[in-house]
Amino acid sequence: MRSISSSRSRSRAQIVFFAVVIAILALTISQIVRADTPMTAADYAADPPAMIGAYRHVEAASVSDAIEQLLHEKRYMSHRMRSIFPAKFAGPALTVALVKEENHDPNALSGMLRAIDSGGPGFVFVMTVQDGADIAGMGGLMGTAMLARNFSGAVIDGGVRDLPQLKKIGFPVYALGPVPSTSVGHYRFAGMNVPIVCDGVAVAPGDIVVADQDGVVVVPRANAADVLVLAQKLDYSEHSMYPYIEKFHSIEEAVKRFGRL
């Protein structure tokens, strides 16, 4: 009897063991299938963090092309907007506006500093400095504060200074160029998280800012999921063309095959 009971116990244990193994295998397969299945626009719209993460992996040029095809709009900044070192980032815009005003008010720019301290991980600081091509809208102190709060980067429609510090800490900034000047005493804070125009492009709070070595593109938040999916397809087509061109030595044939230029 003891032998029969022991045998039954072993059988039950084996059944439980195999059931657990099968469940783990099923879960693993399902995760692999989900991982290999591209997310749809609806998926991204329902999962904003995943959408922002995906935008960090697509090229700004593909995002710009996708916007042009879907929205028939120009949403990229000009060649004047350039990075202080090669960088790639994406994130929702935290907007700030500065207006030109000579003053002796020690609190004239306090709102700009408050805006930085209100931001958090992943944000892109986007600021317009009225007639500010020769005025440093930000420098090392602001960049250090943004880095400490885990901003993704900054885009300044104005100048930037303290490049050695910004390069040392590795905080990416796009601006109109380096200048040694200051905005203190010459500018006043005019608003945070308000619609602005940055280097000719309308930026609303929460719009997705995508930047890489090709430049800066702004995606309207309402269209972000659809633009992302198309940008991913454009990226895939272009990256598939490189080896094809290398193999067959013909860009004409590659364009015919993939429909992308």
Question: Contact, 94 vs 207, CB < 8 A?
Answer: no
Q: Which residue in the block uniquely carries the two structure tokens 């600081």?
A: 125
Give backbone dihedrals phi and psi of 168, rounded to 5 degrees, phi first. Answer: -60, -45
Helix (H, G, I), strand (E, B) or coil at 26: helix
**Phi, psi at 164, each rounded to 5°:** -55, -40
pLDDT of residue 89: 98
- Return per-residue pLDDT of the chain as tens, 261 residues: 545 555 555 556 555 454 444 544 444 444 433 445 789 999 999 999 999 999 999 999 999 999 999 999 999 999 999 999 999 999 999 999 999 999 999 999 999 999 999 999 999 999 999 999 999 999 999 999 999 999 999 999 999 999 999 999 999 999 999 999 999 999 999 999 999 999 999 999 999 999 999 999 999 999 999 999 999 999 988 777 777 677 776 677 767 777 666
Compute the distance between CA of residue 179 and CA of residue 164 in angstroms, rounded to an integer. Answer: 13
Q: Domain 76-219 is classified in which CATH homologous superfamily?
A: Ribonuclease E inhibitor RraA/RraA-like (3.50.30.40)
At 46 the three-state DSSP class reads: helix
- C-beta neighbour count of 23 within 10 angstroms: 10
* Separation CA 155–CA 126 (nearest Å): 5
**In the structure encoding, which two tokens stand for residue 206, read together?**
């929460």
Report CA dihedral (168, 173, 176, 179) to the nearest 10 degrees. -30
Residue 82 CA, distance from chain mean position: 16
User: How much is the pLDDT for 238?
Assistant: 77
Strand intervals (E) in 106-176: 124-129, 136-138, 153-157, 159-160, 173-175
The interaxial angle of helices 224-248 and 60-71, nearest 10 deg, is 120
Give the bridge partners for 100, in sequence order.
Answer: 187
Two tokens at 172?
A: 């990416």
